């Protein structure tokens, strides 16, 4: 099963906050990204002609001890299946941006 990222909405992920999404790293390691939160995009105006859904962001905590940069990740979830998304590191979990002992916080935007 593969989730359709072109038509999914924030509610599709709501029941999965706290659950793990797995990324198969090129090194062969399986890295875990835990869905921490879902945030609706503020100031969205639903009258935009191009808008297929209200935009939202998913925030993931990267597996402790791994530093990853922005890029495209194929994530696998036990219930949602697989999805290919672009994620960007936006800080560290807990807001401790200069504390490398805290996991990276990754953001994935859906427009």
DSSP string, the chain: -B--TTT--THHHHTTTT-EEEEE-TTS-EEEEEEEEEEEPTT--TT-TT-SS--EEEEEEEPTT----SEEEEEEETTTEEEEEEEEEEEEGGG-TT-TTSPEEEEEEE-
Tokens at residue 42, please? 């503020």
The mean pLDDT value for 102-109 works out to 94
- Reported as a pLDDT band with limits 50, 70 and 90, residue 13 is very high
- Reported as a pLDDT band with limits 50, 70 and 90, residue 1 is low
- Ramachandran angles phi, psi of 9, nearest 5°: -125, 165
């Amino acid at each position: 099963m593969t989730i359709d990222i072109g038509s999914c909405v924030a509610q599709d992920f709501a029941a999965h906050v706290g659950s793990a999404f797995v990324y198969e790293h090129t090194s062969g390691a399986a890295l875990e990204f835990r869905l921490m939160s879902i945030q609706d995009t503020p100031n969205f105006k639903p009258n935009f002609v191009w808008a297929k859904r209200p935009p939202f962001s998913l925030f993931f905590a990267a597996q402790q001890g791994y530093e990853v940069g922005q890029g495209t990740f194929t994530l696998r979830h036990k219930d949602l299946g697989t999805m290919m998304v672009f994620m960007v590191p936006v800080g560290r979990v807990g807001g401790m941006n200069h504390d490398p002992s805290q996991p990276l916080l990754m953001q994935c935007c859906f427009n």
